[in-house]
Amino acid sequence: SPVSPEPTTPGAHSPSHLHYHSRPSSDFTDNASVRTDCLCVCLQDVSKRMSLPMDIRLPPEFVKKLEMESENSSPDSKPLSRMSRRASLSDIGFGKLETYVKLGKLGEGTYATVFKGRSKLTENLVALKEIRLEHEEGAPCTAIREVSLLKNLKHANIVTLHDIIHTDRCLTLVFEYLDSDLKQYLDNCGSLMSMHNVKIFMFQLLRGLSYCHKRKILHRDLKPQNLLINDRGELKLADFGLARAQSVPTKTYSNEVVTLWYRPPDVLLGSTEYSTPIDMWGVGCILYEMATGRPMFPGATVKEELHLIFRLIGIPTEESWPGISSNEDFRSYLFPQYRPQALINHVPRLDTEGIDLLSALLLYDTRNRISAEAALRHTYFLSLGENIHNLADSKTSLLPPYQTDSFAPERATKLGRASPKSRAGFSPSPPLRTQISNSETNKQM
């Protein structure tokens, strides 16, 4: 069934916020009884009943249908029933391919192709993720899992699923369009973000993740490619294809290698009994990457990934990781007895509080690894002010403005280019060739 987007702020109407009347305006008089008899269908009222965005352009035939139905309804009509709402959404154009115009291909993977598009209902850009149903490699199950989760996740730091279109050969997911992802952002700012921007991106990542974890939903595939960024500096979690999976594969159904760089050591060593801490390790790796401009543990194999982790964090012991000495995979690798290194020597741009948060995210013992909710309250974020903790789930407007110095001067000089100009206080990347990121394409959504 179609999925309608979250309503926008009532005060921010587009030019399509109109009042539709059943008779010409010349028929109106100052007579109260005539005004009462005259039907007025307000788009805001329709939006309230159907949970539509305020900038929807209602088709004329649908407006006429609403007028006829409203003649027999009271002014305080209750929200539509599920079946009536589904039928009405279809009348507007939700769930129909012709409602969206393709503007170009953004990426292609094993079972999905993603296009940049435009909605005829709102004139907004969208990302159209077309999933081919003739393949029987498990992809449809992944898509269904993604749909079922995103339908119920309504948060400013989680990508919005606007619509679902089902045909015999294809399932199309219509997402909000974002300009970039974190990997592209890092690549296009010379790999050196301002530390203020690092902090704000980190806070938004934790906000979205905390919202998921409170609802017992794990992302399980956190990486910069799956963190989307728009031109207002809003960061959103995307690609929930692996969320809630019973296991976290190291390969896709087509044997394409899935990056191991953000996987926690317990998963690398075969653990299938995990909870929210699986995501928190990846958050730590992403914090390191934003602060340094390079991946923290870029291993090509499971053994190499573990080797990089142990060489920096130290070889795990029964004290730091209870039960590790009895793990057969761990024992078989025969790793050297590495001592833990001081993280500050590897991330000198992070302050003391930042190093403390990073250390709490990279603990071997999952029981002690910091949670998303606790991380949001960490002293690292004190400089952002108290108001950030009062944000509604649908809002990001109280976040402090972005700084304009994405490039470090020495890095910008070395690259032979100047720092990019900011828009609305945000340090954006230059125009990018693609913005799609999924497990199969490593691009978007």
Region 295-314 average pLDDT: 96
Model confidence at 410: pLDDT above 50: no
- 129 labelled binding-site residue: yes
- The closest alpha carbon to 371, from 247, 267, 276, 444, belongs to 276
Is 293's pLDDT higher than 90? yes
Catalytic machinery residues? 221
Domain boundaries of the chain, sorted by first residue: 1-82, 97-176, 195-223+259-402
- Residue 224 structure tokens: 């910069």
Residue at 21: amino acid letter: H
Per-residue confidence (pLDDT) for residue 396, from 0 to 100: 77
Task: End-to-end CA distance of the chain: give it in Å, rounded.
Answer: 20
Closest CA to 375 of 394, 355, 361: 361
Residues sharing a CB contact under 8 Å with residue 11, sequence separation 6 or more, in sequence order: none
Q: Does this model's pTM top 0.75? A: no
Torsional sign, CA 44, 47, 52, 57 = negative
Of the chain, the percentage scoring pLDDT greater than 70 comes to: 60
Residue 419 · residue 406 · CB < 8 Å: yes
Angle at 203 between CA 344 and CA 272, to 5 degrees: 80
CA separation for the pair 279, 419 (Å, rounded): 33
Check if the beta carbon of residue 157 is closer than 8 Å to that of residue 376: no
| Alpha-carbon distances, residue 23 vs 35, 71, 431 (angstroms) | 11, 13, 48
> What are the respective helix, strand and coil percentages of the chain, to the nearest 5?
35, 15, 50
Give the pLDDT confidence of 384-401 residue by residue, as tens digits: 988 888 888 888 766 666
Q: What is the CA radius of gyration of the chain?
A: 25
pLDDT in the model for residue 21:
33
pLDDT computed for residue 300 by the predictor: 93
Name the DSSP class of 387.
Answer: G
User: Hey, what CATH topology would domain 195-223+259-402 get?
Assistant: Transferase(Phosphotransferase); domain 1 (1.10.510)
Query: Which DSSP category does 244 fall into?
Result: T
DSSP-H helix ranges across 71-108: 82-92
Q: Distance between CA atoms of 18 and 58, rounded to whole angstroms?
A: 10
Residues 297, 313: Cα–Cα separation, whole Å: 11
The string of pLDDT tens digits covering residues 152-193 is 788 999 998 888 888 777 888 898 999 889 999 999 887 588
Report the 10 Å Cβ neighbour count for 399.
Answer: 20
CATH of domain 97-176: 3.30.200.20
Return the closest-CA partner of residue 427 out of 193, 206, 226.
193
Lowest pLDDT segment from 36-40, 95-99, 167-171, 217-221: 36-40
